[in-house]
Structure 1
């Protein structure tokens, strides 16, 4: 399977339409279809559901699983092809869940780059982090799902990075009592529900009637702004709440709040020790200088 094949599949997923994907790849739709068929023959399973009259692409279960690794495969192939051009600057491969990478790591990257390191950033899935750390795809990973933590497994070290509270965000003003919003008083049918972690899910099921479905169930938080409209509301981590507030949303503390989420970071021995220590130090400084009660840095506690 070639890099061209991977790019074809990723374009199909990105645009959700074979014709549009073909146009953006500057090939004919029959040529794109043939590439997909060759990939499916090589893999031994179908990637997309084929239904007459349906223009939108729907992935099979195997296709969804393949997508989770396809873009990582693409990056590895690109990195392999560019080894001779990399120069002497050390590369750090960092993986983070979206809500950490976008809202907490992004602000410290400019300073990190000033030290002449190169960076490759991945959107992490907590359940895959250990596997990819072991395979050498990640040098440093930030995860939040406690279920997938196995201390020192396969030489991988797990340490707490920070504790972060949750807030409620909405573009409509919500009733405030004693400095916060009572979550159970809100309309569940207007909720955008994000299952942040197991502790959050337990808290949520205790507060709301499970027979009333939220207006949106969302796993990809990068799409949140598309849905947070009118009376809708959402529970998000504090850093994400601060971003939404900068966009005009009302952000409230929660009177009956869920437990803070703990973000952990993974390393593998002393691999890439210098750039990792630098990034960890920059993140620690940023958290302590920017957030007070909402986020508590635990990075100094985990120093060795």
Structure 2
């Protein structure tokens, strides 16, 4: 197999079209198509669905699997390039849910950058299934998720907890609120784990309520500019929003389960990865103790 095809394939997938990939790589579209055809003939299976009326790239099942392998190859290639140019480095690939990656991990990353120049960090915002999969196949070294699962290859440890509170714009008269006093029609719903889901469905019927469901914390803040809406968020996020944007915070008279973040690592990391993970964990503990 010609390994030069891998960057071409990744560019096709990321640009979502052969023509856009050709423009990005500064080659003719026919060149990209030829590389793809040669690779598919060599493999004996199709990587990309092609046909009349198909504008965006759609991967075949084999193409999905090849994408996973290609991304692993890209990570290895980049590590080797860094090793050649700058000498030995401790590289960590970290996958996290949006809320933790946006509001908590940046302080850890900053602390690491101040403390050491020999640790290279790759940060990815992912869904929980992707995080477990990435730890399992070692494309991720550390993961942070709200979902606790039993997995043969993955260590799962509780690493952070926070109360969940109500966040809204404007001033509020009471610091505490009964769940039944909140109109679920105007809730901006975000998923905070399985136990939270059970608590939420106890107070509000999921089948009878039309909610706006979000999975991006930045979109949440945009919607909350309208004082009609309200949302349930971790207290540490609410306090940052209160300080920077002037939102109001209310605590529940009957509070939900805590926001609980779990740290994932592979059960059998390499010796070099173990050293980097230990260093990261020390900085994480330091930031948690200061929060």
Sort the TM-score into its range (normalised by shorter chain): 0.7 to 0.9
Contact 1:3 1:74 in 2 (8 A): no
**2:279 equivalent in structure 1:** 278
How much does 1:46 deviate? 7.2
Aligned length in residues: 268
Contact 1:89 1:118 in 2 (8 A): yes
**1:244 equivalent in structure 2:** 241
Show CA shifts across 1:172-202 (max 9, x none): 33452xx322232112121111122121111
Aligned with residue 136 of structure 1, among 126, 135, 138: 138
Show CA shifts across 1:176-232 (max 9, x none): 2xx322232112121111122121111111112431211x11133343233222121
Alpha-carbon distance in structure 2 between the residues aligned to 1:277 and 1:60: 40
Alpha-carbon distance in structure 1 between the residues aligned to 2:181 and 2:260: 26
How much does 1:167 deviate? 1.5
**Aligned-partner SS, 1:2:** helix
Alpha-carbon distance in structure 1 between the residues aligned to 2:263 and 2:196: 20
How much does 1:274 deviate? 2.6
- Distance change in 2, residues 1:60/1:269 (3 Å): closer
Query: 1:27-42 alignment to 2 at 5 Å?
Result: 42=46
Contact 2:167 2:249 in 1 (8 A): yes
Show CA shifts across 1:69-93 (max 9, x none): 9699547515414513332121112
How much does 1:103 deviate? 1.1
**2:82 equivalent in structure 1:** 85
Matched, 1:196 2:192: yes
Query: 1:14-53 alignment to 2 at 5 Å?
Result: 25=24, 42-43=46-47, 45=49
**Aligned-partner SS, 1:137:** coil
**1:103 equivalent in structure 2:** 103
**Aligned-partner SS, 1:263:** strand
**Aligned-partner SS, 1:95:** strand
Matched, 1:232 2:229: yes
- So what's the TM-score if we normalise by structure 1? 0.71
Q: Which runs of 5+ in 2 are unaligned?
A: none
Alpha-carbon distance in structure 1 between the residues aligned to 2:67 and 2:232: 31
Show CA shifts across 1:239-270 (max 9, x none): 32223222222222222221013222122346
Aligned with residue 173 of structure 1, among 153, 162, 171: 171
Alpha-carbon distance in structure 1 between the residues aligned to 2:256 and 2:287: 24
Show CA shifts across 1:27-84 (max 9, x none): 89x88x979x97998336579x959xxxxx7x97989x95x99699547515414513
Matched, 1:121 2:118: no
Alignment RMSD: 3.9
- Distance change in 2, residues 1:45/1:167 (3 Å): farther
**1:10 equivalent in structure 2:** 14
**1:94 equivalent in structure 2:** 94
Alpha-carbon distance in structure 1 between the residues aligned to 2:193 and 2:240: 21
Show CA shifts across 1:151-181 (max 9, x none): xx23x322211222212111133452xx322
